[in-house]
Structure 1
Amino acid sequence: MEIRHGGEVCTPTAPKTRQTLALLLFRANQAVDTSAVIDELWCDNPPRSSMTTMQTYIYQLRKLFSRVTGEDTQQKILVSQPPGYCLRISEDQLDAKVFERLATEGRELLATGHVEQASRKLHEALKLWRGRTLADVSAGRLLEGHIVHLEELRITTLELRCHADLQLGAHRELVPELRSLVTEYPLNEWFHGQLITALHHAGRRGEALQAYQNLRRVLDTELGIEPSIALQSLQRDLLAEPRLPASSRAGRPLSLRGPAAGTNGRASAA
């Protein structure tokens, strides 16, 4: 989490104050019940002084806003609003909201066949990420729910962007990223399927088959299951491709059916 104003980084450093601000940010422009803030900070074991202590964190945030934006402005940012508090900011001030908007626009463009525009929009959305959601904030159960939602949206956006780039013929360029993604999300069969497809279109059939075997080994070891029917069909297509004489291999364009339907079910959570 990083808060900036006029080029100045002004993120609070106290852990509980950061946690309080994170919850208010995720629920920006909504009234957050004081009981929800207490639940986030202490779960089922709040101290007797929880209300007073929570109010201290709100005071610290207001003091911070007053220092960087001025007394008059801060009174309009973090306001008391029954049954709790509301952080008032415009959506274009919050990267998470900008990301969600760009991701939605990219998905709609892709669905209507505007692949190049979709790719640009999805690339723009993903550039806003600097790492895991709230990696530097201690999250309680309320924040955990928001984090899972945003991480799932990031994975979906990655899938859409990869799909768009593959449609544009960027098979070789995507191989390194897809290798990284299957390492980060080893149970996500969709990423494995795109890696296999990209390797094959890049003329690396042997590596494509090895990538399938890697997936099969991971699924068997972790879950005791086989790859999906669609991926098994993709492997059979690779194995059935005729071997050409050496004299006719060079320069021959590769062909393979597009990503098989039904391979985008994810078995991993963010």
Structure 2
Amino acid sequence: MDINVLGPLSVRENGVSVVPTAPKPRQVLALLALHADQVVSVSALVEELWGGKPPRSARTTLQTYVLQLRELIAEALAHGANERCTAKDILATVPGGYRLETRGGSVDFREFERGAGAGYRSMDAEDYTGAARRLADALSLWTGPALTDIQAGLRIDMEARRLEEARLCALDQRIEADLRLGRHRELLPELTVLVNQYRMHESLHGQFMLALHRSGRRGEALDAYRRLRTTLVSELGLEPSAALSRLQRSILMARPENSAATAPNVAGHSLVARTV
């Protein structure tokens, strides 16, 4: 079974989609996919579907959704040659819950995590060419916001936010690697879009300022800082971090930036950024 959640939900067996059209069964499948090969408890599924106010028939209704998913899986299994397992083997009932078995299939968010991890290790080893390549490959697995087509409850929403934070961290490090490789001019179009999308993400703004400064656009770099400061003060009542303020002062003093200099490491600050 192949699972994709880094964008619209896609779950395929023998190349055949087993994603239902009805919202609630899609929710069940999405939560199972996020925890593929692991047990998802009945209580977690009930909470995802109905929050803190489940109907009296919640468990029976959940069983109905599981049966609907198994019917789709059984249809997909019929397309396979010499398929010995059943839908119950793939969507298994286990003590306390259910488990979606991938049987060695691909799971995109796990591939992303492995690729990003390899990129981070390359960064630690100062292999910036390898880091940029590995992180870019990992990020290419994303086709949109995680589970963008799913009506999300509390648990799926929390997992989608976690995945988005992981994507932003990988993006931050890929841009960092590109800056260290002197690709500041090539980065400007991408960073222009990103700082408008994530209006309070300090690390992206720091990288944008640095790329502008290295491209001989000192005034625009300082303008980028002023816009960020105005947004942070007006919307959060916060001043920019000390690291970003130091970068601003360095640019203001027109201190030359050598090729090894990077934007301040402030990726964790205002990570959940608002968009315009």
Normalised by the size of structure 1, how large is the TM-score?
A: 0.89
User: Mind listing any 5+ residue stretches in structure 2 that lack a counterpart?
Assistant: 1-8
Match of 1:93, SS state, is: coil
Contact 1:29 1:86 in 2 (8 A): yes
Map of 1:93 onto structure 2: 106
Match of 1:4, SS state, is: strand
Distance 2:32 2:266 in 1: 37
Map of 1:159 onto structure 2: 172
Map of 1:248 onto structure 2: none
> 1:4 corresponds to which letter in structure 2?
R
Contact 1:133 1:150 in 2 (8 A): yes
Distance 1:254 1:232, change over 3 A: closer
Identify the structure with bigger relative contact order (alpha carbons < 8 Å, sequence gap 6+).
2
Match of 1:258, SS state, is: coil
Distance 1:6 1:168, change over 3 A: farther
Distance 1:137 1:81 in 2: 25
> Number of residues paired by the alignment?
260
Distance 1:83 1:155, change over 3 A: same
Map of 1:11 onto structure 2: 19
Q: RMSD of the TM alignment (CA)?
A: 2.0
Map of 2:262 onto structure 1: 259
Which digits, 9 at most, give the CA deviation of each residue in 1:139-194, with x for residues without a partner? Answer: 11111221121111111101111111111111111111112111221111111000
Distance 2:105 2:216 in 1: 43
Map of 1:195 onto structure 2: 208
Map of 1:247 onto structure 2: none
**1:126 pairs with one of 139, 142, 158:** 139
Which digits, 9 at most, give the CA deviation of each residue in 1:54-104, with x for residues without a partner? Answer: 011101111111111237433321111111111111565111111111111
Q: How does 1:1-270 map to 2 (within 5 A)?
A: 1-70=9-78, 72-73=84-85, 74-90=87-103, 93-241=106-254, 255=258, 258-259=261-262, 261-269=264-272
- Greater CA deviation, 89-98 or 110-119? 89-98
Match of 2:126, SS state, is: coil
Match of 1:183, SS state, is: helix
Structure richer in helix, relative to its length: 1
Normalised by the size of structure 2, how large is the TM-score?
A: 0.87
Larger radius of gyration: 1
Identity level (%) = 44
Contact 2:169 2:267 in 1 (8 A): no
